[in-house]
Amino acid sequence: MKQLVILGSTGSIGTQALDVVRKHGFGVTGLSAHSNVQQMERQVREFHPHAVCMVREDAAKDLRQRIADTGTQVLSGEEGLCELVRLEQADMVLNSVIGMVGLRPTLAALEAKKQLALANKETLVAGGKLVMETARKNGVKILPVDSEHSAIFQSLGGHNPINRVNKIILTASGGPFFGYTSEQLRQVKKEDALKHPNWDMGAKITIDSASMMNKGLELIEAVWLFGVRPEQIEIVVHRESVVHSLIEYEDYSVIGQLGVPDMKIPIQYALTYPERTSCPVGRLSLTEYGKLTFYSPDEQTFPLIRTCREAIKRGGLFPCAANGANEEAVRLFLQDKIGFTDIFTLVDEAMRKQKQVEEYTLEEILEADKAAREYVRTHAAKKF
Ligand code: NDP
Ligand code: MG
């Protein structure tokens, strides 16, 4: 039985992964959360993991008391996440924490030669070169969980004929503000931004979808995962989120993956790869949809797509700066400290402040991330 470690098991991806685990009976060796002690206690009692990690120390202390009657060890802090992925019993790690905190555990999992299912896209955006090199050195294949990247991976048919590919067509739902003008966007509130038309996700990625930063991050993620150039990626707005992404081959044959918008499909494919088996989701009825629509994205109104494309073209730590600035700006927006479109300006400016470097270490990634966040905090306070 495959033994899993699920990082971020109390989140949107984490809980859906546990639905897949319930259906297929994988073993659960490790789980992690930030501070949600109640839910972690329930998960420990249901899945009997060898160890769990609560990133916050006080939460770890609380959990230790609550589950003292079980045999589960409770780790804490970021180091605890790394210890968890190195567990000898673990065959595979699903990294579904939110944000840059996922970087160290991603590297630790690769170094320990664990199979890695990756939902935590910020990790690839910030440290793509280092992550891919570490994967290559250790002979580990990274299995994408993000629905678009899973669709691309599936459309590649398991092998990697990327040199036979003209382009990747990356689909985007367009989020709740599709069709809005810049003026209308300036007025939106977090309650509006938190309502996604098709997907039920954590707060941060829901805001990223509304700002279309999510698609910019995914463009960078695709460059690293599939070894294509940024110019080979076309973003197409597809409101129904049924066509999850496509590939145009050299002969202009276009192959895509379709399905209902339910993350359990790509999560399960990563966990069972290369096998396919029935999944606890609804079936796609094309006739119920009747028609599917496709549009060019409005990059004038949603400029973060351009910011991200420029960041990955410049290379080095520009994507890391864009990602760090975005994490900070989204945090401030969720605290009602800045307006929605301020996210656009702050992320673009912080990205441009980054210095050009070719090679980088983990420490340099963390420094660039910190500087971008700092830029956003100071300029948000000054400007608004
Ligand atoms: P959620 O916010 O729903 O869950 C985040 C998880 O990470 C929770 O378990 C949370 O614990 C934990 N966490 C939060 N902050 C920290 C921290 N500082 N240190 C360690 N753990 C932390 O996020 P999602 O599940 O929506 O997203 C997870 C990742 O998957 C993101 O990178 C996202 O971009 C990606 N993704 C998500 C999709 C989705 O449909 N949700 C689709 C495609 C990609 P706690 O509950 O204790 O706060
Ligand atoms: Mg996605």
What phi, psi does 175 have (nearest 5°)? 70, -175
Residue 40 Cα: closest atom of ligand 1: 47
Contact 304, 344 (CB under 8 A): yes
Place of tokens 């992320």: 347
233 Cα: distance to centroid of ligand 1 (angstroms): 26
Q: Identify residues whose C-beta is under 5 A from ligand 2, the ion.
A: 146-148
Tell which atom from ligand 1 comes closest to the C-alpha of 203: 2
CB atoms within 10 A of CB 295: 13
Ligand sitting nearest the alpha carbon of 119: 1
Alpha-carbon distance of 119 to 96, in angstroms, equals 5
Residue 244 near residue 173, CB atoms below 8 Å: no
What CA–CA distance (Å, rounded) separates 5 from 340?
Answer: 36
Per DSSP, helices labelled H in 147-189 are: 147-155, 182-187
Those residues whose C-beta lies under 8 Å from the C-beta of residue 281, and which sit 6 or more positions away, are 259, 260, 262, 264, 265
Closest CA to 144 of 133, 132, 131, 153: 153
Q: What is the pLDDT along the chain (384 residues), one digit of tens a residue?
A: 999 999 999 999 999 999 999 999 899 999 999 999 999 999 999 999 999 999 999 999 999 999 999 999 999 999 999 999 999 999 999 999 999 999 999 999 999 999 999 999 999 999 999 999 999 999 999 999 999 999 999 999 865 657 789 999 999 999 999 999 999 999 999 999 999 888 889 999 999 999 999 999 999 999 999 999 999 999 999 999 999 999 999 999 999 999 999 999 999 999 999 999 999 899 999 999 999 999 999 999 999 999 999 999 999 999 999 999 999 999 999 999 999 999 999 999 999 999 999 899 999 999 999 999 999 999 998 766
Angstrom CA distances, 327 to 122, 156, 363, 369, stand at: 9, 31, 18, 10
**Distance (Å, whole) CA 163 – CA 160:** 8
DSSP state of 281: S
Give the residue, out of 19, 58, 205, with the most ligand 1 atoms within 8 A of its beta carbon, to mutate for a pocket test.
205
Write out the two tokens for 346. 């702050």
Angstrom distance (rounded) from CA 256 to CA 194: 29
Residue ranges of alpha helices (H) inside the chain are 12-24, 37-47, 57-66, 77-85, 103-111, 121-137, 147-155, 182-187, 190-193, 203-211, 213-226, 264-272, 286-289, 304-314, 318-334, 342-353, 362-383
Q: Is the pTM of this model over 0.85?
A: yes
| Ligand that comes closest to the CA of residue 323 | 1
Q: Are 60 and 80 in contact (CB under 8 A)?
A: yes
CA–CA distance, 24 with 45 (Å, rounded to integer):
18
- Number of the ligand closest to the Cα of 36: 1
For the chain, the residue count is: 384
Q: What is the dihedral of CA 33, 346, 220, 312, to 10 degrees?
A: -140
| Residue 74, pLDDT score | 98
DSSP 94-148: EE---SGGGHHHHHHHHHTT-EEEE--HHHHHHHHHHHHHHHHHTT-PEEE-SHH
Name the residue with the closest Cα to ligand 1, atom 36: 119
Pocket of ligand 1 (CB under 6 A): 8-14, 33-36, 55, 96-98, 101, 119-122, 146, 199, 201-202, 205, 263
pLDDT at 361: 96
Burial level of 14, CB count in 10 A (0-12/13-18/19+)? Answer: buried
Atom of ligand 1 nearest to the CA of 34: 47
